[in-house]
Structure 1
Amino acid sequence: MAKCAFLGLGVMGYPMAGHMAAAGHEVTVYNRTAAKAEKWVAEHGGKMAPTPREAAEGAEFVMACVGNDDDLRAVCLGASGAFSGMTESAIFVDHTTVSSMVTQELYAVAKKNGVGFVDAPVSGGQAGAENGQLVVMCGGDAPDYAMAEPVIDAYAKLCKRIGDSGAGQKCKMVNQICIAGLVQGLSEGLAFAEKAGIDGRAVVEVIGGGAAGSWQMVNRYETMLDDKFEHGFAVDWMRKDLAICLATAEETGAALPVTALVDQFYKDVQAMGGGRWDTSSLIKRLKSFG
């Protein structure tokens, strides 16, 4: 069992850190709002620290799951950042979905300090985090990944190294690109069924086991039909991720016409007051705008 730190106790990080503690790891947590860290310690044991640096001191592995590029820099860098408290040979594992640019920037700083750095964004949403069933896509040096994988396994159903530093983030971009188009297609199909006067539930029962089937269809069609959008990844966060995808596409020359269009549809959902609705709320936009 390892001595670990976990930075960021949001809807994902809170249960992920809990699985680490349940697996027998010694876990010290840090959260910007200390009350959340106090609650976690009361539930799971372990310790809390007032700064990322103090959480990271003596840790073999430091995990982070925060909000965006700037949040990640804030917990890594500076006098109170985790890097300043980590010992040589310790490994930093970043589960935040961020740009590959900041990943490579922090990888370089970590290596200069003798610290390993693995970018390891996750897929599976809040339910996946709570159930310890996340998919973790990783980039970084192979030896660092090999050491970190057994710790990550505490909350993962699948963990795989895709390539060098930044490859995990690029894989997560592919994930979000695929989801964006798929959810829009599902929304259009269900809205069409309603307009055409047929039972959407009966339709999914028939087509869900065929070529049209998907995780989104199985897990979201009922809440979509019931106009309930509090069951997954928020629109605000999806737009943050799609902005990263679109910026990277511009840098690389990749074409993302459908992704760009769906991003604008999510902008409409935000304007409807749905920034915290889950991503399946695209169907609500269709019903409002046609």
Structure 2
Amino acid sequence: MSRTIGAVGMIGLGNMGLAMAVNLVGSGFEVIGTDLIAESRNALNKAGGTAVADTGEVGKRCRHIILSLPSEAALHAVCTDLSTNCARGTIVIETGTLPLTAKRKACDLLAGCGITLLDCPLSGTGAQARNRDLAVYASGNAKAIRKCRPIIDSFARVCYDLGEFGNGMKMKLVANLLVAIHNVAAAEGILLGVRSGLDPATVVKVIGDGAGSSRMFQVRGPSMVDRTWDEAMITNTVWQKDLKLIGEALLTAESPAPLFSATIPIYTAALTSGHADHDTAAVYEVLERMAGLSPHAS
């Protein structure tokens, strides 16, 4: 199948993008990628892919391209570049958590050049991406999604075709609302156990195997206990972007969200108390301080 599809482009080689690229290489695909950071390009070369200097080169050499970008501005710049370098019929898989309005503008821009953009945000962390444990919320042209399934299946556990373009981002924001709540809930539960005299590692092991667990408890609970939030899967700075998008979606839908709203000051405290570049698991330390504990006291 990789021979039929040809080289796959990867634009953006951060935690998620590089993990996807490595899994594509491992599945037998030729991967041509780029990133603004030289270290990331070198990592792709070491993994068996081919790093090039710019997005235009990726567009010229690939008919299937994955985007893993950090911002609306990056999406606009990359798609503008691709619009003048890609052949008609190229399919671009956009995997970021970005404003739907920006994705629709990019879709229209590329469509005018005969290029199909798919809205395919990912559910999962960088660690899950490395383990091919991602869920893909695909939306857009159904035929293009089917054509890209061999690519998606090489880096994801499951792919859902959610219909019209934009439904992927809508589903992603539902997921992220729950992530925001479950992450803080995990910290609350672990801290309650510790304050009650339980061993924190035992709390994570036992609760993680029962009805009170969640994927966030399983993924971030160990980081909270081991205090390894400096090894960020997603930083509190980046997470603020996602929180803003969720808030905007709630306002647009006129949907009440008291639990989500209650998490905002917790994440803000993490952001402003030395954890801006740390993982969101650092909310555990925020709750420790609220309980009057100094760091490491629990």
| TM-score, normalised by the number of residues in structure 1 | 0.92
Residues 191-241 of structure 1 show CA distances to partners (whole Å, capped at 9, x for unaligned) of 122222233343444443332022222333233123221253222222111
Quote the residue 1:219 is aligned against: 219
1:63 aligns with 2:66: yes
Contact 1:4 1:56 in 2 (8 A): no
1:35: Cα distance to partner? 4.2
Aligned to 1:252: 253
Report what 2:280 is aligned to. Answer: 279
Q: Which residue does the alignment assign to 2:296? A: none
Paired letter, 1:115: I
Aligned length: 286
Residues 1:21 and 2:25 are matched in the alignment: yes
Q: Counterpart of 1:149?
A: 149
| Counterparts of 1:233 and 1:245, CA distance in 2 | 16
What is the aligned-residue identity percentage?
Answer: 24
Runs (4+) of structure 1 exceeding 4 A deviation are: none
Taking structure 1 as reference, are residues 246 and 143 closer, same or farther at Cα in structure 2, changes over 3 Å only? Answer: same
AA partner of residue 148 (structure 2): A
Which structure 1 residue ranges, 5 or more long, are not aligned? none
Contact 2:13 2:41 (C-alpha < 8 Å) held by counterparts = yes
Are the structure 2 counterparts of residues 16 and 223 from structure 1 closer, same or farther at C-alpha, using a change threshold of 3 Å?
A: same
Residue 83 of structure 1: CA displacement? 2.2
Match of 1:74 in 2: 77
Shift in Å, 1:132: 2.3
Of 47, 51, 56, the residue aligned with 2:54 is: 51
SS of aligned partner of 2:162 = strand
Q: Which residue of 1 aligns with 2:184?
A: 184
Q: Measured at CA, do residues 44 and 86 of structure 1 come closer, stay the same or move farther in structure 2, by a change above 3 Å?
A: same
Alignment of structure 1 residues 100-139 onto 2, 5 Å: 100-139=100-139
Rounded Cα–Cα distance in structure 1 between residues aligned with 2:134 and 2:143: 22
SS at match of 2:47: helix
- CA drift of 1:58 comes to 3.7
What amino acid is the match of 2:108? A
CA contact 1:132–1:157 (8 Å) conserved in 2: yes
The AA in structure 1 aligned to 2:82 is: A
Go from structure 1 to structure 2 and tell me whether the alpha carbon gap of 1:35 and 1:220 turns closer, same or farther (over 3 Å shift).
closer
Instruction: Determine if contact 1:52/1:76 at 8 Å carries over to the other structure.
Output: no
In structure 2, the residue corresponding to 1:92 is in which secondary structure? Answer: strand
8 Å contact 2:9–2:31 — kept in the other structure? yes
- Aligned partner letter, 2:274: G
User: Which residue of structure 1 lines up, in the alignment, with residue 241 of structure 2?
Assistant: 240
2:85 corresponds in structure 1 to 85
Q: Which amino acid aligns with 2:56?
A: R
Partner residue, 2:295: none
User: Which amino acid is the alignment partner of residue 290 of structure 2?
Assistant: F
Distance in 2 (alpha carbons) for counterparts of 1:155 and 1:180: 24
Matched residue of 1:155: which SS?
coil
Distance in 2 of aligned mates of 1:100 and 1:119: 9
Whole-Å Cα distance in 1 between the matches of residues 169 and 160 of structure 2?
12
Deviates more, 1:174-183 or 1:214-223: 214-223
Q: CA deviation at 1:102?
A: 1.0
Once residues 193 and 24 of structure 1 are traced to their aligned partners in structure 2, the CA distance between those partners, rounded to angstroms, is: 46
Aligned residue among 25, 31, 38 for 1:34: 38
Amino acid of the structure 1 residue aligned with 2:54: T
Whichever residue aligns with residue 64 of structure 2, its letter is F
Report the 3-state secondary structure (helix = DSSP H, G, I; strand = E; otherwise coil) of the residue aligned with 2:157.
strand
TM-score between the two structures when normalised by the length of structure 2: 0.90
> Whole-Å Cα distance in 1 between the matches of residues 84 and 57 of structure 2?
9
| Structure 1 CA distance for aligned equivalents of residues 290 and 192 of structure 2 | 13
CA contact (8 A) 1:246 1:256 kept: no
Letter paired with 1:258: L
The residue that corresponds to 2:8 in the other structure is 4
RMSD of Structure 2 on Structure 1 (CA): 1.8
